[in-house]
Amino acid sequence: MAKTIENKKVAAYLGDAKLELSTPLIVGGKDIEEIVIKEPLLEDLEAVSHIHNDLERTAMLIANKSGFTYEEIRKFPTHIYMKLQGLVEPFLR
């Protein structure tokens, strides 16, 4: 007989995360008013697992799941990066 870990049901998908900006962020000459990070899959975590630096690994995952390049993410203001980091960090634990 299979052992039940928890009695609670688990959602199959948590969904995408969105950060809405009160003022536009200019990226590649375009005004960005929201940043959407698609829900990471196991393959996305595998793709960044070789990166040992936590900051670089998180920035790369954000880039991979948001449609921005790693170089664009590196130029984000720190307060925006920290908000995005908070959205993806639970997946990196």
Q: Tell me what pLDDT residue 80 has.
A: 97
Find tokens 């997946």 and name the residue.
91
Sign of CA dihedral 59, 64, 67, 71: positive
Q: Check pLDDT > 90 for residue 63.
A: yes
Q: What is the pTM of this model?
A: 0.84
Q: Tell me what pLDDT residue 4 has.
A: 64
Output the CA–CA distances (angstroms, integers) from residue 2 to 5, 6, 11, in the order listed.
9, 12, 20
Q: What is the pLDDT of residues 11-58, one digit of tens each?
A: 788 889 999 999 999 999 999 999 999 999 999 999 999 999 999 999
Q: Tell me what pLDDT residue 5 has.
A: 66
Q: DSSP secondary-structure letter at 17?
A: E
Q: Check pLDDT > 70 for residue 3.
A: no
